[in-house]
Amino acid sequence: MNRRIMIQLCAFLLGLPLLAQTPTPTPPPPQQTPLEDPGLQRPAPPVTLLPLDTSTAAELEAQGDQLRGHNLYLDAVDSYKAAIRKEPTPSLYNKLGIALIQLRHPEESIETLNHAIKMQKDFSDAWNNRGGAYYMEGNFKKASKDFEHAIKINADNASYHSNLGSAYFNRHDYIKASKEYTIALKLDPYVFERSSKMGITASMGKPSDRAEFEYMMAKLFAQTGDAVDCLLHLRKAMEEGYKNINNVYKDQEFAAVRADQRFKDLMAQKPEAIPQ
């Protein structure tokens, strides 16, 4: 799947902000089973499970990482909890919090991540992930505060800015959202591609929200000089019924794109809004 299509998916799929962890294990493969049914099928683990009572905390943590990498979140939770009973660390609480988010248990995840933050106040990943749990609950105000705190600790993490942009977007603060998405894109040109794999940048139920999002993304790519992605999102904004599409002739971000013949052709066509 090419990058532009993956970015498009961000506007339509409902999921989580980008999670973070330290250290970072091998990224898990794309989710193959519906997240709503995380425990209905528990395929045989790829390795023989270690005994929870006699294994060391380090062994159980490594096992939890491997199980989570194979989307076996329930078994991963058991491993992390057993490791914590032996040797509680901020990293273990953070990883357990992530697994609980992936199981769609945000309330329990928040309680778990509280321990990580209490043990290590400057643990930016834990702040970010707790924000992700609040985001899942739909509490975008608390999510914003946690993402903001993560950024205070580490301002160079693109996913933190992307997540904060998502929270602002869902609070309908489009100016702040655009600012954070711009920072995220500058820090990591592929941050939205990662979002489509690990969790989307914003959840949008109403057509007007989707249209606003597409126009915002067009602005961002116009600023970076990426005319192809800019025009892709402009077309989507029109198809979603964006009412202020003529602002492309006034908004400074589109100054360079307006000279592009492809832009002129698109605006001449004016794709009709797709019925919702």
pLDDT digits (tens, 9 = 90+) for 179-225: 999 899 889 988 877 654 444 334 444 667 778 888 988 998 898 88
Average pLDDT over residues 92-105: 94
Residue 1's identity, in one-letter code, is M
43 pLDDT band, cuts 50/70/90, is low
Question: Would you say 27 and 159 are in contact if contact means Cβ atoms under 8 Å apart?
Answer: no
Residue 166 predicted with pLDDT over 80? yes
Res 11: pLDDT? 37
Res 40: pLDDT? 47
Res 3: pLDDT? 47
User: Which of 22, 32, 15, 75 is closest to 198 using CA atoms?
Assistant: 15
User: What confidence tens digit (pLDDT) does each residue in 99-110 have?
Assistant: 999 999 999 999
Question: Would you say 185 and 224 are in contact if contact means Cβ atoms under 8 Å apart?
Answer: yes
Taking all residues of the chain, what is their mean pLDDT, rounded to a whole number? 82
Distance CA 248, CA 227 (A): 13
Average pLDDT over residues 18-27: 53
Residue 91 predicted with pLDDT over 90? yes
Tokens of 262: 């492809």
Residue 9 predicted with pLDDT over 50? no
Res 153: pLDDT? 97
Distance CA 160, CA 141 (A): 15
65 pLDDT band, cuts 50/70/90, is very high
Res 16: pLDDT? 53
Res 41: pLDDT? 54
Angle 71-203-68 from CA coordinates, rounded to 5°: 10
169-177 contacts at long range (C-beta below 8 A, 24 or more positions apart): 169/201, 169/202, 169/204, 169/209, 169/213, 169/216, 170/135, 170/140, 170/202, 170/203, 171/140, 171/141, 171/144, 174/212, 174/216, 177/202, 177/216
Average pLDDT over residues 8-29: 47
Average pLDDT over residues 118-134: 95
Question: Would you say 224 and 234 are in contact if contact means Cβ atoms under 8 Å apart?
Answer: no
Res 157: pLDDT? 93
Give the residue, 15 or 257, on which the prediction is more confident.
Answer: 257
Res 202: pLDDT? 41
What secondary structure letter does DSSP report for 11?
Answer: T
Residue 176 predicted with pLDDT over 50? yes
Res 42: pLDDT? 61
User: What confidence tens digit (pLDDT) does each residue in 219-250 have?
Assistant: 988 988 889 989 999 998 998 889 899 999 99
Share of the chain above pLDDT 70, in %: 78
Distance CA 197, CA 208 (A): 24
